[in-house]
Amino acid sequence: MDSDTESLQKLLSAPVKLRLDSGDVKGLIPHRAPFLLVDAVDVIEDGKYCVGLRHVSPDDTVFKGHFPGYPIYPAVLLVEAMSQAGAVLLMRMEMYKSKIGFTMGIESARFRKPVRPGDDMKLAMEVLRAGSRAGRMRGEVYVNGELHAEGIVSFIIADKKTVFSEEA
């Protein structure tokens, strides 16, 4: 599964090493409602593979404007959800204690099917490279076992103290 093109779908049925619930997720990344887009994360292999879980609530306010009469989850939020799931996996690593990750770029993204209110998304993630200052990961969004979106994102790593200082 180390290729940039091989499907990550097999992660959906892979043995789960550890389930991180919403409390664990909040302890690893700074996002909060309404912009916390991952409910839980199943670690498949530390530092390499995970599956993020997200229930798309029909009550999510985003559906009031995107789009009335034909509500679909915004594509950019699918990319953000993938990034958050990958960040949860990475921030568990010892080298990233006291660090924070930021999306630096969207190298590619494809949106194959719409995600609708009430859908349960599975965000299959693979870390392609994780260095002390930057890295890359790829993800695939599944609903009911069907591929809905995929992408590759790059990220940078910063020190939390620097980012969240009063002077920043």
Residue 130 burial (C-beta neighbours within 10 Å; 0-12, 13-18, 19+): buried
Contacts of 46 (CB under 8 A, 6+ apart): 17, 89, 92, 93
From the list 31, 55, 66, 148, the catalytic residue is 66
- The overall longest dimension of the chain from CA atoms, in Å, is 47
Residue 55 bears catalytic tag:
no
Q: In what order do the strands lie in the sheet with 134-143?
A: 18-20, 40-45, 49-55, 120-130, 134-143, 146-159, 99-111
Strand duo 18-20 + 40-45: pairing: antiparallel
By the 8 A CB rule, do 9 and 142 touch? Answer: yes
| Catalytic positions, written as ranges | 66
